[in-house]
Structure 1
Amino acid sequence: MTFGEQPAYLRVAGDLRKKIVDGLLPPHARLPSQARIREEYGVSDTVALEARKVLMAEGLVEGRSGSGTYVRERPVPRRISRSGYRPAGGATPFRQEQSDTGVHGTWEARSEQAEASPAIAQRLGIEPGDRVMCTRYLFRESGEAMMLSTSWEPLAVTGRTPVMLPEEGPLGGAGVVERMRAIDVIVDNVTEEVGARPGLADELQVLGGVPGHVVLVVQRTFYASGRAVETADVVIPADRYRVAYHLPVK
C-alpha cells in the first residue's frame, strides 16, 4: 500500500461516515445490510463487516438485536467550563456552571477512607498505603448522568479536622480552596491534565455509553506551597461534552 491509499474497509467506512455526517443517512435510519454494502462497493463480506465494525466503534451506528444496524442520534456537545478564577463562594466549577446557565444540575457523593495506591500516592507526594479520603461523585444534568469524579485527599492534611469529609460538616460542598483555607492550608496552585481513553465498562454503564466510547479524563491536583492537598480524576463522555478553559492572563 502506497502513501495515501486506504484499506478497502476504511474506504467503505469513510464513504458511509460521510453519508451519515451529510445527513444522507439520518439518525435512526437503517445502515445498508452487509449484502448491500458488498454489492454497492464491490467488496467481500469480510470487508463489509469490518467497515460496519469501524462505524460502531466510532459510535456512529448501533446494532439492534434481530433488527439490524441503525444510525445513532448524535448529541450536540455541551460545554463544561473550567476557569482559572476561583468561583464566588468557593463553589466547584460544576456548581458554578449550573448557577450561571440556569441548568438544573444535581450530584451524589460518597466518601470513605482508603489506602493510597502507588499511582495516587505519587500524585499526592505521599507513600503508597498512606490513608486518604476517597470521594466519588456522580453529576447529573436535567436528570441525565453527565460526569463522574473521584477525588483523594491525604488524611495527614485533613484528618481529625472539620473538613475531613468533603461533602459534610460546616463547609460541606464548599470546594477544595475554601475547605483548606478553613484549616489554614492556603491553596495557591492547581494543575489539570486532559487526556482521552476508552471508557471503562462501569463508567459507561453509569454515563450511558456503549463499549468503545471515548471519555475525556481531567486529572486535577490542588497544591498549597508545593504540597498536593487533593487530586482527582474527572470523567466526561467525549461525544456529549467539551471541556472549555477560561484562564486569566497575568
Structure 2
Amino acid sequence: MAFGEQPAYLRVASDLRQKITDGALPPHTRLPSQARIREEYGVSDTVALEARKVLMAEGLVEGRSGSGTYVKERPVPRRIARSGYRPPAGANPFRQEQSEDSARGTWESSSEQDAAAADIAARLGIEPGDRVMRTRYLFRDGGEPMMVSTSWEPLAVTGRTPVMLPEEGPLGGCGVVERMAAIGFVVDNVLEEVGARRGLAEELMELGGVPGHVVMVLERTYYASGRPVETADVVVPADRYRIAYHLSVK
C-alpha cells in the first residue's frame, strides 16, 4: 500500500460516513447489509465487516438485536460558555455555565471531608492526606443531566469558617469567588485545562450516557494571590455539549 493510501475498510467507512453526514442515510435508516456493502464496493466480507465496526466505534450507527444496524440520531451539541463573567453577588452561580438566557439550571450536591489524594494535593499546593472538603455536583439544564463536577477545597483555608460547606451557611450556593472573598481570600485568576477521555461508569450513569461514550473533563483551579483555594473536575458529555471560551483581548 502506497504512503497515504487508506486501507480498503477505511475507504468504505469514509464513504458511508459521508452519506450519513450528507443525509443520504438519515437517522433510523438501516445501514446497507454486509452483503450489500461487499457488492457495492467490490470488497471482501472481512472488509465490509470492518467498515461497519468503524462506524459503530464512531457512534454513527447502532446494532439492534434481530433487526440489523441503523444510523443513530445525533444530537446537536449545545454550548457551555466559559468567560471571565462573574454573576452578581448572591446570583445563581450556574448562570456562568450557560450560554442561553432561557436555560433553566438546577443542581444537586453533597459534601464530605476527605483526605487529599496525591494529584488533588498537587493542584491545591498541599500535602497528600491533608484534609479537604469534597463536594459532588450534578447539574441539570431543563431537567436533563448536563454535567457532573467534583470540587475540593483545602480545610486549611475554609475550615471552621462560615463557608466551610459550599452549599450551606449564609453563603451556601454562592460561587467560589464570593465565598472566598467573605473569608479574606480575593480570587484573582483561574486556570482551566480541558481534556477528553472515556467516561467512567458512574459518570455516564448520572449523565444518561452509555458505556464507551467520551466525556470532556475541565480541570479548574481558583487562585487568590497565588494560593490555590479550590480545584474541580467538571465532566461534560462530548456528544451533547461543547465548551466555548469568550476571552477579552487586552
Give the shorter-chain TM-score range: over 0.9
Contact 2:87–2:95 (8 Å) recurs in 1:
no
Partner of 1:15: 15
Runs (5+) with no aligned partner, structure 1:
none
Deviations 1:155-191 (A, max 9, x none): 1111111111111111111010000011111111101
Describe the shift of the 1:60–1:74 C-alpha distance in structure 2 as closer, same or farther (beyond 3 A). same
What letter matches 1:115 in structure 2? A
Partner of 2:227: 227
Describe the shift of the 1:122–1:21 C-alpha distance in structure 2 as closer, same or farther (beyond 3 A). same
Deviation at 1:89, TM superposition (A): 2.1
What letter matches 2:107 in structure 1? W
Contact 1:82–1:93 (8 Å) recurs in 2:
no
Partner of 2:56: 56
What letter matches 1:227 in structure 2? R
Deviation at 1:100, TM superposition (A): 5.3
Deviation at 1:141, TM superposition (A): 1.3
Deviation at 1:87, TM superposition (A): 2.0
Quote the Cα distance in structure 1 between the aligned partners of 2:57 and 2:99. 36
Describe the shift of the 1:100–1:7 C-alpha distance in structure 2 as closer, same or farther (beyond 3 A). closer
Contact 2:150–2:234 (8 Å) recurs in 1:
yes
Deviation at 1:120, TM superposition (A): 0.6
Partner of 1:135: 135
Partner of 1:68: 68
Deviation at 1:218, TM superposition (A): 0.9
Contact 2:188–2:224 (8 Å) recurs in 1:
yes
Describe the shift of the 1:100–1:30 C-alpha distance in structure 2 as closer, same or farther (beyond 3 A). closer
Quote the Cα distance in structure 1 between the aligned partners of 2:97 and 2:179. 20
Contact 2:105–2:141 (8 Å) recurs in 1:
yes
Deviation at 1:126, TM superposition (A): 0.8
Quote the Cα distance in structure 1 between the aligned partners of 2:12 and 2:149. 38
Q: Say which SS state the counterpart of residue 55 (structure 2) adopts.
A: helix
Deviation at 1:36, TM superposition (A): 1.9
Deviation at 1:68, TM superposition (A): 1.7
Q: Say which SS state the counterpart of residue 161 (structure 2) adopts.
A: coil
What letter matches 2:194 in structure 1? V
Q: Say which SS state the counterpart of residue 88 (structure 1) adopts.
A: coil
RMSD over aligned Cα, in angstroms?
A: 1.7
Quote the Cα distance in structure 2 between the aligned partners of 1:93 and 1:60. 35
1:28-177 → structure 2 map (5 Å cutoff): 28-89=28-89, 91=91, 94-96=94-96, 101-177=101-177
Deviations 1:70-129 (A, max 9, x none): 111111111111111322226565334559512222211111111111111111111111
Contact 2:38–2:44 (8 Å) recurs in 1:
yes
Give the % identical residues: 81
TM-score in terms of structure 1 length:
0.94
Contact 1:58–1:212 (8 Å) recurs in 2:
no
* Runs of 4+ with deviation above 6 angstroms: none
Describe the shift of the 1:99–1:246 C-alpha distance in structure 2 as closer, same or farther (beyond 3 A). closer
Deviation at 1:3, TM superposition (A): 2.3
Partner of 1:182: 182
Contact 2:190–2:223 (8 Å) recurs in 1:
yes
Describe the shift of the 1:226–1:97 C-alpha distance in structure 2 as closer, same or farther (beyond 3 A). closer
Contact 1:90–1:177 (8 Å) recurs in 2:
no
